[in-house]
Amino acid sequence: MEQIKKTLRDSATARWSALAIISITMFAGYFLTDVMSPLKPMLEEEFAWSSTNYGLFTSSYGWFNVFFGMLIVGGIILDKMGMRFTGLLSSGIMVLGAGIKFWAISNPTLLTDTTFGIHTQVFWASIGFAIFAVGVEVSGITVSKIIVKWFKGKEMALAMGMQMAIARMGTLLAMAAPVPLATFFADKHPQLVNGELVEKMGPSISAPIAFALTLLVIGFISFFIYMAMDKKLDASIVDSGETDSDEPFKFSDIFSIVKNKGFWLIAVLCVLFYSSVFPFIKYAADLMVNKYGLSQNVAGLIPSALPLGTLFLTPIFGSIYDKKGKGATMMIIGAGLIIFVHTIFSLPILNYWFVALILTMILGVALSLVPSAMWPSTPKIIPENQLGTAFSLIFWIQNWGLMGIPYLIGVVLDKSNPEVLAAKAQIANGVEGVTVPLYDYTNPMLIFAGLGVLALFVAFLLKAEDKKKGYGLQLPNIKS
């Protein structure tokens, strides 16, 4: 009997090692993505940012990805040029964007000028964040396709869950570390006081960003190691006689993707779900200060429980999907949990820190359930040779929400709390003895809850479409 030739991905050690290496880049990317969240009160105090300024900055994540279609371009490059080239390119873009962001935040003198009607510091920090976002999003679709390549017919959902868990350790670190880092590296630097720059001691807001930039450089270097492994995998595939795609990607494939109803349901569910979670994380530490009365030094610790929970639960849920199936059902349950959590957050009662902790942990369950089922379901709907472009289109649609919702929340927060803006204006004009009231977060939380309701509706539609088309979303991923 002829011996079956195996490829490098048949080695558990090789495929899990490849996953570990590419996860370093995503860990660093997730850290920089949310590093500013616990620093919002510091930005307001040191640099006189408003919630609208902060919302504008966070919304810049989607500027280039959405308006210039960079994500779609990245997906096409991925399918045409391959994972090694695209991964290295996107990692380099992340480093470039992070460098610009660090330069802007470490130069408070930029606040004395405006660019296109925006404080110059906010403008350049946003440009850096927007460039970084192109890199991290394209890296995300590249990593997703890499996992499909290495884990096809094996523990795909578990692998995606593990990668997401490692990446969200970056989010966990971003919730817990920035304030201690900024405080530890406190120095004398220009701060905006009564509209003028004054040299005084204060926290170094640029220190956490410098740390993030260092992590990104490490991730960039580590990708060279993955490239060597990927070359060996391709060689082993050729030797075994396997093929990864029936035919190469064609630009006409874009039309077949967008005509697929299952694709649109996954994409809309993605944008609704992530828009109810990631923008929330951007404001979570500030919520803990204003609604639950925590000090700024510890406010980031409760939101850090969210990625901490996903660290353990996402691989577990991914393994369940691999072995038992029920992917559509998992997405429905996750969307329901989103509604519950944000509804309770919006109520003007139960203002106890342990209630916030419990709600955050439940939100972590939702953030584990939905992605651990949603991303492994996409290859069941879209052919492998179109996956890079399909993922990029999904991420592009998602970025509309990640761009618009944070800015909307910032504007709604200011509009819902005019007394806060009035008090800050008095302080800026030199009025002494003014007490700044706390923000009321009711309306922003209701917006997040509404997104959860829409996500639940789409999840039910996706389950119905799966039953009609037979995608196999309710079936296990591991083939016997």
pLDDT digits (tens, 9 = 90+) for 247-265: 566 677 788 888 889 999 9
**Residue from 385, 195, 372 nearest 273 by CA:** 372
State yes or no: pLDDT of 2 exceeds 50. no
User: Which pLDDT score, from 0 to 100, does residue 186 have?
Assistant: 81
Residue 433 neighbours by CB under 8 Å, 6+ apart: none
Mean pLDDT of 355-372: 89
Residue at 474 is within a domain: no
DSSP characters for 222-285? Answer: HHHHHHHHHHHHHHHHHHHT--S-SS---TTHHHHHHT-HHHHHHHHHHHHHHHTTHHHHHHHH
**Does 2 map to a domain?**
no
- What is the reported pLDDT for 464? 94
Looking at the domain assignment, is residue 296 inside a domain? yes
Whole-number pLDDT of residue 73: 87
For residues 308 and 194, which has the higher predicted lDDT (pLDDT)?
Answer: 308
Region 52-64 average pLDDT: 88
SS3 state at 220: helix
Q: How confident is the model at residue 219 (pLDDT cuts 50, 70, 90)?
A: very high
> Domain with 350 in it: what CATH number?
1.20.1250.20
Cα–Cα dist 134/286, whole Å: 27
CA geometry: angle 9, 221, 307, nearest 5 deg: 75
Please give the average per-residue pLDDT across 28-37, as a whole number.
91
**Residue 478 domain-assigned (yes or no):** no
- Amino acid of residue 194: N
330 within domain boundaries = yes
Residue 48 backbone class (left: φ over 0; alpha: ψ -120 to 50; beta: rest):
left
Overall average pLDDT of the 464-477 stretch = 89
**What's the token pair of residue 202?**
């204060």
For residue 192, what is the DSSP state? E
Which of these, 51, 205, 72, 233, lies nearest to 149 by C-alpha position? Answer: 233
DSSP string, 446-465: HHHHHHHHHHHHHHHHHHHH
CB distance 317 to 368 below 8 Å:
yes
Average pLDDT of every residue of the chain: 86
Can you give the residue range of the structural domain that contains 243? 11-469
Supply angle C-alpha 446, 266, 134, rounded to 5. Answer: 85
- Residue 222 CB-density burial (10 A; 0-12 exposed, 13-18 middle, 19+ buried): middle
Q: Give domain status of residue 475, yes or no.
A: no
- Name the band, by pLDDT with cuts 50, 70 and 90, for residue 76: confident
Mean per-residue pLDDT, 223-227 = 92
pLDDT of residue 37: 85
How many domains would you assign to the chain? 1
pLDDT at site 1: 34
Token digits of residue 285? 């530490």
- How far, in Å, CA of 27 to CA of 112, rounded? 35
201 found inside a domain:
yes
Looking at residue 108, what is its pLDDT? 75
- Least confident range from 96-100, 135-139, 277-281: namely 277-281
Residue 4: inside a domain: no
What are 331's two structure tokens?
A: 């997405």
